[in-house]
Chains A and B, each alone.
Chain A
Amino acid sequence: MRTEAATPESTACRVTLSDFEGPLDLLLFLIRRDELDITLIQVSEVAGQYLAYIRSAVELDIDIAGEYLVMAATLTRLKSRSLLPSQRNHDQDQSDDSLDPGKVLLRQLTLYRAFREAAAELRDSEETWRDAFPPPGERGRFQDALREAERGGESGSILELLEALESLARRDEPGLPHLVQRPVLSISECIDRISLALPERGSSGSFAGILGETPTRQRLVSFFVTLLELVRRGWVASRQEGPFGGITLERTGRWA
């Protein structure tokens, strides 16, 4: 029921919105329609109408461009600020000018209006000059001549043709696949190594000794994970003197 009732009005709104080149265009349209000037007070006057447009557009079509919503937020902020008593003193007023949202909006509107008018004049020039056709000139002519030459203005021998074909084939030859293999040290391998280093119950050794000199990071991690696994299983007891100290391992009787 509700949607049916809302459709004619909302459709009109969508059609209208798509006629505009963004929020500034819509605002300028509203300002001009009400014969207002681009001043803070008068822009605030049309803010309500702008918001109404956006609201009905949003009801119908969620895909409304984000820029329209940002402008709606800016206008709402301007309106709410105009309701509050002014708290700013003069010093701040001076320095805040470039950041004042009202001033920024006025600047945008003025600039945009000037460019919109310039664009309209360009449109007039386009109308006139689009209908003035220059001769095609040498570019078109010589491009054709070049293409003719490329197509084989000079005849080549069969041999040259075969050579060319061969060189093409060579270029297309796929190179040998280059596989990069990463040596992976599995945990079971590490267990074997540790088992060798600690051959029987009670034998002990330092973790650093098992790792060997300058182990790769991968080796270090693999062995450390293995160490944790062995401790969890209770096959190995570990001891560390202090933080960052050396770790000593001792094989327990539960090693399977």
Chain B
Amino acid sequence: MTLDRLAREVEALLMASDRPLSIERLCELTGAGLEAVEQAVSRVEDALVSGGHAMEIAYLAGGYRLVTEPALGTVVSRLFEGRRPGKLTRAALETLAVVAYSQPCTRAHVEAVRGVNCDSAMKTLLERDFLAISGRMETPGRPLLYGTTHAFLEYFGLARLEHLPRLDEIGNLLALGADDLEKAALDLSKDGEDDH
């Protein structure tokens, strides 16, 4: 399959970019219309698949991004051996989850939810650019507010925050009062869903 000019332009842009390119940005760069670019993206996708290439297009953090096939991760990660940061710890993942669903939120909020001190987890997440300071709360002491970053969405393969797992369930829990929570807890237990 030979790609037309626009599809090849899109492919080249995705290859050269260091961040996901939104459909609007692709339109801007190629000068083509929204629909045309969307179709071009899927033509590139088809070509990669039918040609048996080791790359695919992922929709991450609000844009398209060319990535190597996850199944080849073992081989590719050898390239970065010793230079790649490790997987996140459970403490870091939990901290990240609390911020992601409650943002913007304070460190105190995260600690209240997790019931433990989160200093080192927050520090790791700030260093790895998954969290960023997004402002200050206008309460006494003006504590810092934290939010997640684009890097967070990309790392977890999320197109946007609305794609977080269990968003509705947790949103409801956060909004509920204590009484309702007790009922919700009962309902959840009936589902018998829990990991450990």
Contact = CB atoms under 8 A, between A and B. Distances in A.
Interface stretch (B26-34, B36-44, B69-77, B135-143): B69-77
Interface string A103-126: 110111111111111111111011
Chain B, interface size: which category?
A: 35 or more
A10 B37 CA distance: 64
B184 interface: yes
Contacts of A109: 185
B195 A116 contact: yes
B109 to A, nearest CB: 11
Interface stretch (A55-63, A132-140, A211-219, A226-234): A132-140
Interface residues of A, number: 53
Contacts of B186: 37-39
Contacts of B1: none
Contacts of A134: 18, 65-68, 154
B189 A37 contact: yes
Is chain A's binding surface mostly helix, strand, loop or mixed? Answer: helix
A67 interface: yes
A112 B114 contact: yes
A125 B173 CA distance: 23
Contacts, number: 175
Given A106-B185, A108-B113, A137-B18, 13 more contacts: A21-B114, A22-B115, A24-B114, A38-B185, A115-B97, A115-B113, A118-B101, A118-B165, A119-B96, A120-B93, A126-B156, A134-B66, A134-B67
A67 B67 contact: no
A173 B185 CA distance: 68
A98 B174 CA distance: 14
B105 to A, nearest CB: 12
Nearest to A113: B194
A130 B71 CA distance: 11
B181 A122 contact: no
B160 interface: no
B185 A24 contact: no
29 contacts: A21-B90, A24-B114, A25-B115, A32-B196, A38-B182, A38-B186, A39-B186, A97-B178, A103-B178, A103-B179, A110-B173, A110-B184, A111-B174, A115-B94, A115-B98, A116-B195, A118-B100, A118-B164, A118-B166, A120-B195, A123-B88, A129-B155, A129-B156, A131-B74, A131-B77, A132-B67, A134-B65, A137-B17, A138-B17
